Amino acid sequence: MLKAKIAKEVLVKVHNEIGVLANLTKLIAEKGINILAASAWVNGSEALIHLVTDDNLRTSDTLRAKSYNPREMDVVLLESPHKPGLLRHITERLAGSGIDIHHLYASAALDQERCLIVFACADNDRAVVLLNS
């Protein structure tokens, strides 16, 4: 069974340099904030870091206090069974309904029965309704 809901992620754009992700995650950990999902990549000289935490407000406040410029974005959090073909099934349902995925990241440990998928799309509200039906 799929369980989708609207949530927020924290997006941070920084100059790409060695250790910047380590620094950000240290600041967050020192506040006792749990990172539920993360995605990071480099685009030219910038690094883009997406974080879903258990306290985005404190995450953003913590990063702002250290001169980072975080912003929150709407995403869909989807809990689903961890089995072969499920991501294909989900993305086909969205595509079949004309919903364009802007970005997606997901993870689960090999021995877990459930996984967490984070994505943003052209119509997050409609995606939630579709995936929960």
Please, which pLDDT band fits residue 109 given cuts at 50, 70 and 90? Answer: confident
Q: What is the pLDDT of residues 67-106, one digit of tens each?
A: 999 999 999 999 999 999 999 999 999 999 999 999 999 9
What is the pTM for the complete model shown?
Answer: 0.91
Q: Provide mean pLDDT across the span 7-27.
A: 97
Q: Is the pLDDT of residue 36 over 90?
A: yes
* Phi then psi dihedrals of residue 92, to 5 deg: -65, -40
Q: Write down all domains in the chain, each with its CATH number in brackets.
A: 8-73 (3.30.2130.10), 75-132 (3.30.70.260)
Q: Provide mean pLDDT across the span 34-44.
A: 96
Please, which pLDDT band fits residue 1 given cuts at 50, 70 and 90? Answer: confident
- 11 half-sphere exposure, CB direction, 13 A CA radius: 13
Distance CA(55)–CA(1), nearest Å, equals 26
